[in-house]
Amino acid sequence: METSIRVTRRELIQTRGRIKVAKRGLELLKMKRSAMMIEFFKLLRKLQEVKEDLRTLIERGNEAVRIAEAVTGRMTVERVAQEQSEKSARVGGRNVMGLIIPDIGLNENVQILRGSDSITIPTAVYDAKNSYLAALNTLIQVSEQELAIRRLLREIYKLNRRANSIENRIIPSWTSKMNYIKQSLDDMERDRLVSIKFIKRVIS
């Protein structure tokens, strides 16, 4: 490799500049990775809490359905369920250090509970719908956070690979090149001085 290196002062200056840029880039990558790690652990803690809430809400919803069936009969519960419009979600995103984190929610046209429900359907069935609405919203939060965590993990892995490549391969390689050029230039300078001294002695 050394035979292909141009031993010039210009090459030495350019190599020093590349090393400086690489170190700055490595510093920025590590800062970005740290910010994403903080976001990752924050989401992970939140996800654990939301999953606990989801279990509680599903159990509450199941209990509410059992009560509604006991009070109004299964046919009434199934009729109200069939009247429910088809549900769809919207998927957006928010930017975290250049990475798009998903933002999921129900579409505005999806109506699970209408203002008239408390009057037109039995109270026990209304309570069951209300319980499952809370569970559905929480389930959406779980999905959103799990997607965000997966994306963050993939990005953190990429950042780790880039940082390791710069730190363990690129910077050492350029540092070795810089040292070789510097040493070669110093040797050339010493040879030049020796030659000048020799010529002076011959002349004198």
- Specify the residue for token string 């510097």: 182
What global pTM score does this model have? 0.69
Q: What are the pLDDT tens digits along the chain (204 aa)?
A: 455 788 888 999 999 999 999 999 999 999 999 988 998 999 899 899 999 899 999 999 899 889 988 888 888 877 777 766 556 666 777 776 677 777 776 665 545 555 555 556 788 888 888 888 888 888 888 888 888 899 899 999 999 999 999 999 999 999 999 999 999 888 888 878 888 777 877 776
Shortest CA distance to 89 belongs to which of 50, 144, 44, 135?
Answer: 144
- Specify the residue for token string 């109004």: 72
Shortest CA distance to 81 belongs to which of 73, 93, 89?
Answer: 73
Q: How far is CA 176 from CA 2, 3, 11, in A?
A: 10, 13, 13
Q: Residue 89 contacts by C-beta under 8 Å, 6 or more apart in sequence?
A: 104, 105, 106, 107, 140
3-state secondary structure of 87: coil
**Two structure tokens written together for 178:** 């810089």
Q: How far is CA 64 from CA 51, 72, 125, 128, in A?
A: 20, 12, 8, 5
Domains in the chain: ranges and CATH: 11-181 (1.10.287.3240)
